[in-house]
A = this chain, B = another copy of it.
Amino acid sequence: MIIPIFFSLSFLVSSTNAADFCVGDLNGPVGPAGYSCKKTVTVNDFVYSGLAATGNTSNLIKAAVTPAFSAQFPGVNGLGISIARLDLAVGGVIPMHTHPGASELILVMHGTLLAGFMSSDSKSVYSKTLNEGDIMVFPRGLLHFQINAGKTQSVAFVSFNSADPGIQIFHLSMFANDLPTGVIAKTTFLDTAQIKKLKGVLGGTG
């Protein structure tokens, strides 16, 4: 007799899926913990193919960052994890940047990268040439960089322990907005001419 079995089953599973995941509803309210949860989900909410293609490296940095954060891949919302793809053409560079509050782990897929970070004692630089299959960890919030150190296109993947780690890129934060030249000069010790030159290149004003 099967019916009593099903009674017991449905009884046992009376807690909702909310315990399991919270696929982000990009149109719903957002709170400090992330997007609100979509009501209906399928497996496609948990799979993303946006990192399969090579990023366009025809730009100033000869590199591209393709993120799969909660805004692009809402399946990670609330799960505290995300990933991004790095493509670096020959001579390409992922400029000096930080992720506010998230640690990063890089995995080199193709090519050779020079990667490094600086600790907050200002004295210490931790940098090394990474080859295919190497991994390196960049502790949360510290300045770090990656440079294509080889003679071929390079590909790497960077994981984060946050669904939305953010990327704060130093030269863009300084030179691509309206932060006044005088303020930059005082707070970075850079020369005014240097600042104005880079604001010109990067579209900044002030």
A17 to chain B, nearest CB (A): 5
Q: How far is the CA of A36 from the CA of B175 in the complex (A)?
A: 31
A160 to chain B, nearest CB (A): 7
Residues of A in contact with B, size category: 35 or more
Are A125 and B5 neighbours in the complex by a CB distance under 8 Å?
no
Are B161 and A79 neighbours in the complex by a CB distance under 8 Å?
yes
Q: A19-B120, A20-B142, A47-B130 are in contact. Are A135 and B73 (CB under 8 A)?
A: yes
Query: Which single member of B31, B82, B125, B201 contacts A35 (CB below 8 Å)?
Result: B31
Q: Is A173 an interface residue (CB 8 A)?
A: yes
Are A202 and B71 neighbours in the complex by a CB distance under 8 Å?
no
Which residues from B are CB-within-8-Å of A152? none
Q: A31-B33, A95-B188, A100-B141 are in contact. Are A119 and B159 (CB under 8 A)?
A: no
